Structure 1
Amino acid sequence: MAHHSLAAVVQENAERFLGHAEHSHDVPHLIHVVSGAAVVTAAGREFPLRERESLWLDLAVPHAMRVEEEGTAVFGPMLVPACRPCTAVVPLGRRETITAVVNSVLVAGPRTEEQLAACRLELSRAVRRSQGVRFPVPVPTSPAARGIAEACVDSPLPLGALAAGQYISARQAQRLFREETGLSFVSWRTRARLNEAVPQLLAGVPAAQVARQIGYTTTAGLWRALARELGVPVERVRSGSLDVLATTPDP
């Protein structure tokens, strides 16, 4: 717990303990209550936040914060420019994925711009992950199909090899995926991989890097897969208009 008598020792961080007047930022912003309680005023509303709860603000949103309890400490890191919410203010509640990254950043104490940039990226990824998966991928129920599902996202192996590892044939695996998830194996793996890709793209990770990480040899393959699953023209995805990833309803 932060002690009130120590709140102003490091003057530039005093607002973390004492609150601050209305202001805004030119990049998206996260407000996370490390301990205690606070109230954030933004977009004409008040948002009460308790310990380990967060609020996600778009760029240029005026906001103010007041603490509600002795011992309150609030962390307000900037996010990468691409990590914008769909509305001006999004209450995130208590998300352990965000709390874990916030705690790691606070312990690490980044100082250089390179260190700060790496922390912003990880926080942005955590915020996006907290929003849930982009494309529904029901988990198979049978042990063999579930084993294939758990292995296939990160593996370059074709279905035949993955099925052999579970002592069934590719035909049996296809049937299980159809019956238990409503998707073909190819569709299931594509969606699962794209669920890994979307938070990274929205957090500003280069598309070529994301494509390689999820098994595509080119960014063109990634764009085509995203366009197909989103039901939009590939040009809209390839153009870099990432709002489509956050706002288009799931097919």
Structure 2
Amino acid sequence: MSTTRQHLDGPTRVPLAHRERVEWHDHAVNQLIAPGLGVLQVSTPDGTWVVPPHRAVWVPAGVAHAHEAHGPSELRTLCFAADVNPLQVDRPTVLAVTPLLREVIAALSRAAHVPDRDRPLTPAQRTNLERVALDQLHRVEALPLGLPATRDPRLRDVADLLTADPGDERTLAELGVAVGAAERTLSRLFRTETGMSFPQWRGQLRLHHSLKLLADGASVTSTAARCGYATPSAFIEAFRNAFGTTPGAYRKQALDI
């Protein structure tokens, strides 16, 4: 994996087409990434974060990452000095974005690309909005929505099978037969490497995949089936518990372009 250093000196706002990628890079500053439309998949060597419009992800300075858009998207970012860390975290973290923080991100990222004739923010106005953003970041809730990466070759093989088909209903024992590993070994490795049990990890994978399918335009019923949920109602409940909204409402927001 080749990583380039990208310089950031303020907010950014970049439209991304469906499936468009921003390849591996890092920054000397902390970055807050909040999609305005669609869904962004943020990948790091330690795992993957899928970020819908009502969420954001904090990426610490120096952490290599790449982006991929699902559905027409808009990459909105704010940056903060490496020693400014209101979340007190050292790894990418998904956040529940407050309505006020969402509007501040939108205003700052929009102002970064406003032509001079359209009265951009003054330095004082930008500083005030950045202070509001920091205040909100002290108040937001961190969400355990990342999908930790697997490193053991046997776990990677299991992860590859389920990534290719999240609706695969095989048990861990049956998957173990497919990859040549005992169920007990795989169960121990999942807890050791990801901090999750296998059912928790698979549940997270399915939720991540559902975000991308919905942003691609799939129906709620179709998404539930393709992600391995027994019924649409079971999917709706799991989705609401994880993301604070229903898949139908999320789909409408993600496709509202």
Q: Could you state the TM-score of these two structures normalised by the residue count of structure 1?
A: 0.42
Higher relative contact order (CA 8 A, sep 6+): 2
Q: Higher Cα Rg: structure 1 or 2?
A: 1
Q: Could you state the TM-score of these two structures normalised by the residue count of structure 2?
A: 0.41
